[in-house]
Amino acid sequence: MDNLTENLTSARPSVDPVDRQVYAWVLGHRRTAVKEFAHDLNLPVDRARASLERLVALRLVFLDPDDPDAGYAVAPELAVTELAAPVEARIRAEQEQLARTRALLADFAPVYQNSCGAGCSGTGVQVIASLPEVRSALNRASDDCTLEVLASQPGGGSRVPSAMEEALVRDRALLGRGVRMRTLYHHTARFNGPSQAYVAAASRLGGQYRTAHQLFGRLIVFDRELAFVPVQDGSSGAVAIREPSLVAYLCELFEHTWAEARPFADAADDGLEQVAQELDETILELLAAGIKDETIARRLGMSLRTTRRHIADIMQQLNAESRFQAGVAAVRAGLLPEERSADE
């Protein structure tokens, strides 16, 4: 019986040729005497009995309760009806349970609508609390996108290979449909191996990538109609924005940064030394403005440890013991405008 169940649930069920022979014999003789058809078919008795048990399980053969040798065979159509009845009953029960579940959950829809505001109706702003919901919303937006994707991805220096591989699969599908893709990274992405490999592969597919010292934050916009930004509390949630004026403003912010950003080509040919020099100049400007180390790290997409190492190197090069001294020395060296020093 276990073999029968496995056979019925397999992708391509098969029939033992012996079962066909036994089925034909029972049809013709209207008997189920194991020893008789084993003899006539030249089968071992054990194999003949096993075949008869499979035919009974398939409802193709029925045994007489008073005389097991006086059984009979029926048409396959009748066997199907016999086997399908309990399955259909289970399906009906599952459908009824599904209908009850839908009706129960439908009662919560007004509560959700009232709690999350106008964004739940497909317009405005909607807060998406959990990471699974965010991923689902992004996947739906990606599938529906037909024209353009704009993205700002801070922290490019911390991208991991698995994330890059997932992104490449998703982006390949978009680019294959002719969707235009433009993405902004921090300059630090140029020093990250997975980011370099991803950009090289996606660029060959038609994606466009640029880097900047500072980014305005994380952003993804689909077809200039739907934007996603992080929630303020720093959790894994997101805010989905459909309000046209807000989306247009975010797109304008992206375009302004894009125009000032540097194309992210193959790292070996892309002047990393110059980028590194510009990075140090930006750090110096932020130091002179009194920005804290943590904020500098976040703006530049670097770890706090790496940021402080850069700061220490800069102050050593300027032979400065304080940030004020670093600012004065930078002005004297022509690295900062004089009015910056006056602010200090």
| Regions of the chain short of the pLDDT cut 50 | 1-2, 5, 9-11, 117-119, 121, 267-268, 340-344
User: 47: burial class by Cβ within 10 Å (0-12, 13-18, 19+)?
Assistant: middle
Residues in the chain: 344
**pLDDT given for residue 119 in this prediction:** 44
**pLDDT given for residue 65 in this prediction:** 85
Parts of the chain belonging to CATH 1.10.10.10: 2-74, 272-343
First to last CA, the chain: 87
Pairwise CA distance, residues 173 & 105, whole Å: 34
Q: Does domain 272-343 have CATH number 1.10.10.10?
A: yes
Angular region, 319: left φ>0, alpha ψ -120 to 50, beta rest: left
Pairwise CA distance, residues 286 & 336, whole Å: 11
**pLDDT given for residue 159 in this prediction:** 57
Is 152:219 a contact under the CB 8 Å cutoff? yes
**pLDDT given for residue 45 in this prediction:** 92
**pLDDT given for residue 248 in this prediction:** 94
Parts of the chain belonging to CATH 3.30.870.10: 123-266
pLDDT digits over 28-64, tens only? Answer: 999 999 999 999 999 999 999 999 999 999 989 999 8
Q: Does domain 123-266 have CATH number 3.40.50.850?
A: no
The CATH code of the domain at 2-74 is 1.10.10.10
pLDDT digits over 152-180, tens only? Answer: 988 755 555 666 676 777 888 899 899 99
Following DSSP, what letter does each residue of 173-224 receive, concatenated? HHHHTT-EEEEEEEGGGGG-HHHHHHHHHHHHHT-EEEEES-----EEEETT
- The amino acid at residue 125 is V
Q: Taking the CB of residue 165, how many other CB atoms lie within 10 A of it?
A: 14
